[in-house]
Amino acid sequence: MYGHSDRAASRKVPLVHVEMIETSELGDRSYVAHDGSTAIVVDPQRDLDRVEALLSRLGVDCVAVLETHIHNDYVSGGMELVRRTGATYVVSAHDDVAFDRHPVHDGDTLDFGGLRVQVIATPGHTHHHLSYVMRALARDADPDQDATDGGSAPAAVFSGGSLLYGSVGRTDLEDPDRTAELTRAQYRSARRLAELLDDDAGVYPTHGFGSFCSSGSSSGGEDSTIGQERARNDALTEDDEDAFVDRLVAGLTAYPSCYAHMGALNRHGAGPIDLSAPEPVDGEQLRKRIAAGEWAVDLRNRVAYAAEHLGGSVGIELGGQFATYLGWVIPWDTPITLIGEDARQVTDAQRQLVRIGIDRPAGAAVGTPAELADGDSRTYPRATFAELAERANAAANGFIVLDVRRDDERATGELPGSVHIPLNSLLDRLDEIPDSQLWVHCASGFRASIAASLLDRAGHDVVLVDDDYITAVDNGWATG
């Protein structure tokens, strides 16, 4: 909740209440702002049952949906929420979209119930990015009295991918050739918000909680104000624009390839989702699909997958990073059949997939590898960095160490003698993989497990190094 209820009640000021809906799997937040009866939804995700449940619990009606920008890291549920509620869909007038919306420009003001929304152009994360400053409207006892801004009541700014907690959103998603230009715009946008708003204004960004849409220095956190950001945000504490631009651009890392597809989907406008059970697939059908080049994605944890899995399947452990890395490594539009331990695991995977624009799996198989493989189950060993060091010290180790971390991670340190191919490049560079046993590592084991499954699928002899890289650094086996 945002505001001061005792003071506001005495002046009959409807407060701005802000409820957050977190999508931790993608590192994003959506918001429901309301005055007790009228609600405005900001940057909704596509699985709208969460939004609708919150609106119902609060007893408020959604009258407006605000998009801060055309998103790259998830498919928006905005158009579908508007269809269901009849709300006003507020999107930048400058964004080229294929759906009807209420187009807005910098400086526009919109009133919804007891809430007033001011539109602020904050380019940088995208060319036409907007932030929305929301204030309560003060009303006298006379219902015919015109509404005015709620006196000194704090404002709330929904800053999308502009002003984050500690930093700003990345600036290389729309046009890499204009990254420096957009980074300068991002710096000025953040400072513009700080100039327009008082210290007690609440800051509500969409990104900054693990999303690859964030720049590297964003700090996350539960909440913040403009005053707090003035003290810690590098766009506000760095007075040298050139230095800020150089630092942010130098810190930009690789981002998921599926972002290009989601941006296009959002410009077109996404329809409703279907989380009903996929077509059931038995072991024989599953093996035929694998033989045809389709992806059978095993959702079990990496320990279970290494111990036994269906030959030709891809192991991507269901968890917080599942959709991000599936969307990063899979050739887009490849049919996917999910393999789960139970139906709930499949349903959870479906929810994550629709958020990145993979609407319906081609099917699902539930059961153990022994039940599905019909004799074609496989296994590969897991190891620690200590075991790797012991083997590496042998006179003739006869294997290759493959590092699948990102380029920026590799630049900070490495295992001497290791080969480096980032996970996101692995499928395109399979012809570079040596014909030797491969000990595969990343920073924690999660990405290495995906890489190991892809290499196993391609016929390589693999060992998954399922360990934290910091262990190798602490013991002097690796630099970092």
**Ordered domains of the chain (ranges, CATH):** 5-268 (3.60.15.10), 283-378 (3.40.250.10), 382-445+457-474 (3.40.250.10)
pTM over 0.85: yes
Count of Cβ atoms closer than 10 Å to residue 220 Cβ: 14
Q: Give, for 15, the enclosing helix (H) or strand (E).
A: none
Question: Hey, is 402 helix, strand or coil?
Answer: strand
Helix axes 343-354, 322-329, angle to 10 degrees: 70
Burial per residue of 221-246, b for 16 or more beta-carbon CB atoms within 10 angstroms, e otherwise: eeebbbebbeeebbbbebeeeeebbe
What is the pLDDT, as a whole number, of residue 411?
96
Structure tokens at 369: 């590898």
Q: Give, for 184, the enclosing helix (H) or strand (E).
A: helix 179-196
Rg (CA), the chain: 25
What is the pLDDT, as a whole number, of residue 10?
38
Count of Cβ atoms closer than 10 Å to residue 32 Cβ: 20
Residue 390's identity, in one-letter code, is E
Structure tokens at 418: 């290791």
Token pair 């009807």 is found at 100
Residue 181's identity, in one-letter code, is E
Query: pLDDT tens digits for 323-353?
Result: 999 999 999 999 999 999 999 999 999 999 9
What are the backbone angles phi and psi of residue 88, rounded to the nearest 5°? -80, 130
What is the pLDDT, as a whole number, of residue 141?
42
Q: Indicate the pLDDT class of residue 247, thresholds 50, 70 and 90.
A: very high
Question: Residue 170: is it exposed, middle or buried by C-beta count within 10 angstroms (0-12/13-18/19+)?
Answer: buried
Q: Indicate the pLDDT class of residue 394, thresholds 50, 70 and 90.
A: low
Distance CA 29, CA 65 (A): 14
What is the pLDDT, as a whole number, of residue 152?
61
CA dihedral for 156, 162, 168, 173, sign (positive or negative) = positive
Provide, rounded to the nearest whole percent, the portion of the chain with pLDDT above 90: 85
Count of Cβ atoms closer than 10 Å to residue 388 Cβ: 23
| Mean pLDDT on 445-473 | 97
Q: Indicate the pLDDT class of residue 151, thresholds 50, 70 and 90.
A: low
Count of Cβ atoms closer than 10 Å to residue 135 Cβ: 22
Question: Hey, is 163 helix, strand or coil?
Answer: strand
Q: What is the largest CA-CA distance in the chain?
A: 90
What are the backbone angles phi and psi of residue 463, rounded to the nearest 5°? -125, 125
HSE-up (13 A, CA, CB side) for residue 356: 28
What is the pLDDT, as a whole number, of residue 396?
57
Provide the β-strand partners of residue 30. 21
Distance CA 335, CA 326 (A): 12
CA angle 467, 470, 474 (to 5 degrees): 120
Distance CA 214, CA 230 (A): 18
Judged against a pLDDT cut of 50, whether residue 244 lies above it is answered with yes
In 3D, which of 35, 32, 44 has the Cα closest to residue 16?
35
Token pair 């920008």 is found at 69
| Residues in CB range of 344: below 8 A, 6 or more apart | none
What is the pLDDT, as a whole number, of residue 376?
79
Provide, rounded to the nearest whole percent, the portion of the chain with pLDDT above 70: 92
DSSP 8-state class, residue 425: G
What is the pLDDT, as a whole number, of residue 4?
33
Judged against a pLDDT cut of 50, whether residue 1 lies above it is answered with no
What is the pLDDT, as a whole number, of residue 222?
84
Q: Indicate the pLDDT class of residue 153, thresholds 50, 70 and 90.
A: confident
